[in-house]
């Protein structure tokens, strides 16, 4: 058995953050497939009782520990490996600030937008999509401005703040209906810098469940 297990599925950018981190630090890890689309597994009583009471993916398993919330798993892995770790109080708080902003307003809006537009059957209400798109444009512009002055979110080197923020950003533009990298000029080169890190893999290559079976 691998040292780490990750409950995940290919379409989950929330899980991708942790899968990517595991791969970038060269961890010995294996995915545990969660059937979100056909079985709604995170919503089952068994999953909530045995895996995560919050009913969410990802969950990182390490020995007797089960960690949910990608920001918590990223912090744990950074502290254990010493890689992508914010150093000192100022950087730690700054990383946490961006991870919370990301969870709430960047990928926190991108995830339901892509889900309602591309994955939900039937697709979401156009008024809801329009609301979310406005929020996404605002949040991505904030990230783009941040990256205009530095190569990575905290400065000259990548940290868990970057790995959190890229959660949904490598999925194909067709899934969003707009091209994030083309619209935000500082986001594309930043994505390229992270993609160049040894161990980088696309979410669809790193986690099981792609392509989706017919529903």
Ligand X SMILES: N[C@@H](CCC(=O)N[C@@H](CS)C(=O)NCC(=O)O)C(=O)O
Shortest separation between residue 160's beta carbon and ligand X, angstroms: 12
Give the pair of three-digit tokens for residue 199.
């161990």
Nearer to ligand X, 19 or 147 (CB): 19
| Sequence-distant (≥ 6) Cβ neighbours of residue 16 within 8 angstroms | 8, 166, 167, 168, 170, 203, 206, 207
Nearer to ligand X, 111 or 146 (CB): 111
The per-residue DSSP string of 93-154 comes to HHHHHHHHHIIIIIHHHHHHHHIIIIISSSPPPHHHHHHHHHHHHHHHHHHHHHHHS-SSSS
75 lines the binding site for ligand X (CB under 6 A): no
57 lines the binding site for ligand X (CB under 6 A): yes
Tell me which residues in 98-117 interact with ligand X (CB under 6 A): 103, 111
| Among the residue ranges 55-63, 79-87, 88-96, 118-126, the one whose residues contact ligand X (CB under 6 A) | 55-63
The per-residue DSSP string of 11-61 comes to T-HHHHHHHHHHHHTT--EEEEE---TTT-GGGSHHHHHHT-TT--S-EEE
Give the pair of three-digit tokens for residue 202.
């696309």
102 closest CA partner among 151, 145, 143? 143
Q: What crossing angle do the helices spanning 13-24 and 107-114 adopt, rounded to 10°?
A: 120
Tell me which residues in 30-49 interact with ligand X (CB under 6 A): 42-43
Nearer to ligand X, 24 or 106 (CB): 106
Nearer to ligand X, 69 or 184 (CB): 69
86 lines the binding site for ligand X (CB under 6 A): no
Query: Do residues 35 and 213 touch, judged by C-beta distance below 8 A?
Result: no
Shortest separation between residue 148's beta carbon and ligand X, angstroms: 26
Count of residues of this chain found to bind ligand X when the rule CB under 6 A is applied: 12
55 lines the binding site for ligand X (CB under 6 A): yes
Shortest separation between residue 42's beta carbon and ligand X, angstroms: 4
Shortest separation between residue 189's beta carbon and ligand X, angstroms: 25
Shortest separation between residue 203's beta carbon and ligand X, angstroms: 11
Nearer to ligand X, 86 or 167 (CB): 167
Give the pair of three-digit tokens for residue 169.
């950003």
Binding site for ligand X (CB under 6 A): 12, 14, 42-43, 55-58, 69-70, 103, 111
């Amino acid at each position: 058995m691998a040292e780490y297990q990750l409950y995940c599925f290919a379409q989950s950018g929330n899980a991708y953050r942790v899968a990517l981190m595991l791969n970038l630090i060269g961890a010995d890890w294996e995915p545990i497939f969660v059937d979100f689309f056909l079985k709604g597994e995170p919503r089952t009583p068994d999953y909530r009782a045995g895996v995560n009471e919050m009913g969410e993916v990802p969950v990182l398993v390490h020995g007797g520990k089960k960690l949910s919330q990608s920001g918590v798993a990223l912090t744990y892995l950074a502290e254990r490996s010493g890689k992508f770790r914010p150093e000192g109080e100022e950087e730690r708080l700054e990383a946490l600030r961006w991870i919370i902003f990301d969870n709430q307003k960047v990928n926190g809006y991108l995830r339901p937008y892509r889900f309602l537009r591309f994955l939900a059957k039937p697709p979401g209400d156009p008024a809801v999509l329009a609301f979310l798109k406005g929020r996404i444009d605002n949040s991505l512009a904030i990230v783009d401005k941040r990256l205009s002055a530095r190569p990575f979110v905290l400065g000259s080197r990548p940290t868990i703040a970057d790995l959190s923020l890229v959660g949904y950003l490598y999925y194909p533009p067709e899934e969003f209906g707009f091209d994030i990298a083309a619209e935000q000029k500082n986001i594309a080169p930043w994505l390229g810098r992270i993609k160049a890190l040894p161990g980088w893999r696309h979410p669809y290559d790193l986690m099981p469940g792609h392509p989706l079976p017919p529903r």
